[in-house]
Amino acid sequence: MNQDLKEQLTHIPKGKYLMIYGRWGNAINHTIEQGELKNVNWDRDTVELHSTVYGNDFTVDMSKAFSIDESRSGSGARGSVQSPDWKQNSQGDWYKGDRKYEGH
């Protein structure tokens, strides 16, 4: 586990919701492991999280992690991961969700 993540984890209380970015398995792009912090095993460089969606505990290998986001309070707390695409209505106006594009 890199020193910055180790330092960050020392200040995070148990129960805090985390999104841990890294590359696990055969992923080409980075992936995210997320859940409430249950335990840190400093000897094994692992973090145990509790999934608030599935209700289970799982272990994250921190040697493959590169950042921790502790700004959310739960899964989807800041809205969905994907945002709506721009769509054109029958009058020719462009909208993203219910927000009209006011371009120049």
CA distance 81 to 31: 13
Instruction: Please report whether residue 56 resides in a domain.
Output: yes
> pLDDT band for position 13 (50/70/90)?
very high
pLDDT, tens only, 14-33: 999 999 999 887 877 788 89
User: Does residue 101 come out as left (phi exceeding 0), alpha (psi in the -120 to 50 range) or beta?
Assistant: beta
pLDDT, residue 96, reads 65
Residue 49 belongs to domain spanning: 3-74
Please indicate, yes or no, if residue 79 is contained in any of the structural domains. no
Question: Which CATH number goes with the domain that contains 52?
Answer: 2.30.30.520
**Type of residue at 62:** M
Whether 100 maps to a domain, the answer reads no
| Number of domains making up the chain | 1
Does residue 49 fall inside a structural domain? Answer: yes
Q: Classify residue 85: in a domain, yes or no.
A: no
More confident residue, 19 or 92: 19
pLDDT of residue 65: 93
Say if 81 falls within a structural domain.
no
